[in-house]
Amino acid sequence: MLHTGGTLGMAGGRPSALRPAPFARTLRERVPELAELADIRLEVFSNVDSSEIQPESWVRLAQVLARRLPAVDGAVVTHGTDTLPYTASALSFLLPGLDRPVVLTGSQRPLKEVRTDARLNLIDAVTSALRGPPEATVCFDSKLYRGNRTLKAAIADYDAFESPNFPLLGTLGVTTSFAKGLPPRRLRLVDRLDPRVFLLKVFPGLDPALPLALLGQMRGLVVEAYGAGNVPVDETGGRSLRPVFREARRRGVAVVVVSQAPRNAVDLSLYEGGSAALSEGAIGGGDMTSVAALTKLMHVLGVHRSMPAVRRAMERVVAGERS
């Protein structure tokens, strides 16, 4: 079990702010049942709010997991909920071919509180690390999700996550049930990321001068477009995004288009706006979440240099992140 921080291990609360707190003693005192499930080796990787987790943290976490996994049956990573889907997605790309479970979990209330969801989430996560599919997953509110298909959907509900385009990998109720998930392969560590990626949400009134000014600072751009991948391209109103795609192509910036709609997939050939993006070299993100597209693009750009190689890698399914 690798503890990174987050609400699960925090202390305080209203009227004071939640803050990171010592974790090992709290875990032993509050969830002694874990010792009945498994021989758990706890390692404190970090103890921070998940808003402080950065791409460099993902790389170090993947490196620790790659060293530790051969000696254990599975791993649980405790993590704050705000950036948990980003870490789960990143680990799926940094550790392709997992041959045993890596389960991320957290909580909406600290473990020390009476009405906490942390106890059950930890018990379910350890169970999933022993019996679940060999991939990076998220265990929360008695559900097991594919990590790179997950989004945080609620701030104040225990049922905090959803997987819009992929079914559950497991349910943990009175009985437990797990899907096979990805086929186990040989565990590898591909610990390279390039964080020079930007996420652009298209909205009515977006001035293209803003993303144009930023293109020189990035190697990759994820565009959250309307619907099936549509963007404004009418040149008469001064709000066309065609110059952004054109300039990105000229500069060698990889552009991936996903949808603002959480369900279904983009089809850049369906509307004029998407077709224009496609003609300028944009890559369709299929049914990937923006989180998965962002983390995958960071990883792909860390590994590949040429645009054809980047395109092939983004369109290839690496860890079940797209249909």
Please say if 7 is a catalytic residue: yes
CB atoms within 10 A of CB 34: 21
DSSP conformation class of 226? B
3-class DSSP state for residue 286?
Answer: coil
Pairing state of beta strands 161-162 and 151-152? antiparallel
Among the listed residues 110, 109, 115, 160, the one whose alpha carbon sits nearest the alpha carbon of residue 139: 160
Q: Considering 7, 83, 137, 150, which one is annotated as catalytic?
A: 7
Among the listed residues 258, 250, 237, 306, the one whose alpha carbon sits nearest the alpha carbon of residue 280: 250
Contact 295, 278 (CB under 8 A): no
Q: What six digits make up the tokens of 121?
A: 């989430």
Separation CA 25–CA 41 (nearest Å): 13
Transcribe 178-199 into DSSP letters: E---SPP------------EEE
Separation CA 311–CA 308 (nearest Å): 5
Q: Is the peptide bond before 15 cis (omega within 30 degrees of 0)?
A: yes
Question: Which are the catalytic amino acids?
Answer: 7
